Structure 1
């Protein structure tokens, strides 16, 4: 049996569909079952609650052969340690107690780099991985650059003809589609012949700058889309004004600074970590379903 956390998010929703199409039993932890796809809900065992709750994971992990672990965002966290490590501690204890054999976690690029201990949200994610791996389970961290799907947050601005990131617009970096991340997670969860601890990067098929992305968006949409750079400080300040905590804002700023300095470009491409969905194909699919039009 496979236990799936965060099944209503962008990655988890796609992974749930893939898993219910397999022959595996699937148990899902979800706060609000009404948010599940009806076909998924009818095909899985549902445990209602938070996967940060000791009672919930203590029950849900019983009999589990594998767990998919994805941390929910907590923009009001009082500290990054509380948001990442403390939230995951009950799961680590349940993994040990129930002898869960395999765990796949969504994490970030940055380990074994100069930025490992000063990348804010990424550093906290790596600390979470250390906690889960210390249980002795076979552990794989799917390590990601920024997601193509983050562009959807810019949809209102794109309709006005631009998008903005804390970036100068020129450096080319990898980006990954969440559909490819879900596939990589599914492959690991279903084929549990692997052991030990390791990372698996999901890099997409190409490195692009925001200027490149603006050009591709313009071509797909058939109208000019510009990239407007903003500073990390200005972007973080806007997050704070929207209610994000000081800890989250500082962690986000540190992460984006590390990315700007090259953290996401350290991992070499291989056939295994170079996934198939191009940014152009992602844009075309988003437009087809009305998400960016």
Structure 2
């Protein structure tokens, strides 16, 4: 049995399908099973990881856990990790971040701090582990969907910011290989998982336009305006501004090389952003 947190998220949904396709038993955790829309073969279980309920029963009989910080935050992830130890889970695959560098620089931004702290907790747990350090998710482009549908215009502070957007299905595939591994080849590994090509924001917007069959363009706005647009229930204005400025630094100095981790782990090349845009064309039409 493999327990998947964040099962209705972009990575989690792909992961549940991949694991079921490999014949694994899957327990998918979600706040609302009735609306989850997951395959009937999965055991879909109601779970509020931010509450005070005992989490150990959620992991009863499980051999492995896919742990996603997005499914409740850092405190919930730490509590679930503790419950996994108590329940006798053998392995955890953590959806971490490529912002983690295993250097003092990890204290310099909140994304690295959060994930590095959780990585330390996983290492200290005594469980077998693999870290999937993703980032620059292609699905972040879904934030542009309302403005593309309305006008074809995306407003960003740094149109020339560079990234290596990764398809959620590739992150799920890497996680699935690690969760299902019987050889031990992936134990104790931290995989930095990127897409197969570097692209600017403007290039991504153009690719979406091609897939959706409509004209698109990027309009430059101030960093302050961009941060305001990102601020919400899960992100403070200060954190949003830190992110916007971090993106700005990638215009002249791309932060990460293109990784071949998807091909090394799964045996096939990573999906391109053009493929992602085609897969999600309906979201922008």
* Range into which the TM-score falls when normalised by the shorter chain: 0.7 to 0.9
Aligned residue number for residue 253 of structure 1? 241
Mapped to 1, the partners of 2:110 and 2:12 lie a distance apart of: 24
Q: For residue 6 of structure 2, give the secondary structure of its aligned residue in structure 1.
A: coil
**Shift, 1:268, TM fit:** 5.4
CA change 1:278–1:37 in 2 (3 A) is same
2:272 aligned partner: 278
Which runs of structure 2 are paired with 1:197-216 in the superposition (5 Å)? 197-216=188-207
Choose 214-223 or 148-157, whichever is displaced more: 214-223
Match of 1:130 in 2: 120
| Structure 1 unaligned spans of 5+ | 75-82
TM-fit CA distance, 1:62: 2.2
Deviation >6 Å, runs of 4+: none
What residue is the counterpart of 1:11 in the other structure? Answer: 11
* TM-score normalised to structure 1 length: 0.83
Correspondent of 2:60 among 59, 62, 66: 62
Deviations 1:45-90 (A, max 9, x none): 333222344645211222211101112367xxxxxxxx42x22221
Structure 2 partner of 1:80: none
Greater mean alpha carbon deviation, residues 96-105 or residues 212-221 = 212-221
1:34-113 aligned within 5 A: 34-37=34-37, 40=39, 42-53=40-51, 55-72=53-70, 83-84=73-74, 86-112=75-101
Quote the Cα distance in structure 2 between the aligned partners of 1:253 and 1:35: 34
- 2:233 aligns with 244
Cα distance per residue 1:190-238 (max 9 Å; x no partner): 1243365331122111000012223323333444311123344322223
Do 2:164 and 2:258's aligned partners in 1 also have CA atoms closer than 8 Å? no
Tell me what 2:284 maps to: 292
CA contact (8 A) 2:209 2:216 kept: yes
Please tell me whether the aligned partners of residues 95 and 135 of structure 1 are also in contact (alpha carbons under 8 angstroms). Answer: no
Q: Deviations over 1:145-194 (max 9, x none)?
A: 2111222221121121121334x222432110111111111111112433
Separation in structure 2 between the aligned mates of residue 171 and residue 232 of structure 1, nearest angstrom? 13
Partner of 1:78: none
Q: Secondary structure at the match of 2:236?
A: helix
RMSD across aligned C-alpha pairs, in angstroms?
Answer: 2.6
